[in-house]
Amino acid sequence: MQYYEKFLLVVSIVFFLFILIFTFLDKKPFSRLLFNAILGVGALGIIDLSAKFTGVFIPINLYTVASSAVFSVPAVCLHLILQLIII
């Protein structure tokens, strides 16, 4: 594994733990998880729809949709940052 793959793995694990901790501190954890998943996938969809105008494109595949659903908006921001760094 290269260094950035290890970095992404560590960041993803940390985000996942934070989301789990803060979600289960809430009174309705499953509705909050569902809301975060919808918010993350919605943000990914908005970026995909605006790709024609902005020039920033995140490929839609199983990994990007799953990470956006699990980690919500921070995952979408991470995908954007990585896309801007790589290009």
pLDDT digit string, tens, across residues 51-64: 888 888 888 888 88
CA distances, 85 to each of 1, 79, 82 (Å): 19, 10, 5
Helix (H) or strand (E) holding 2: none
Single pTM value for the model: 0.67
64 vs 62: CA distance, rounded Å: 6
75 vs 35: CA distance, rounded Å: 15
Average per-residue pLDDT in the chain? Answer: 82
Contact 1, 10 (CB under 8 A): no
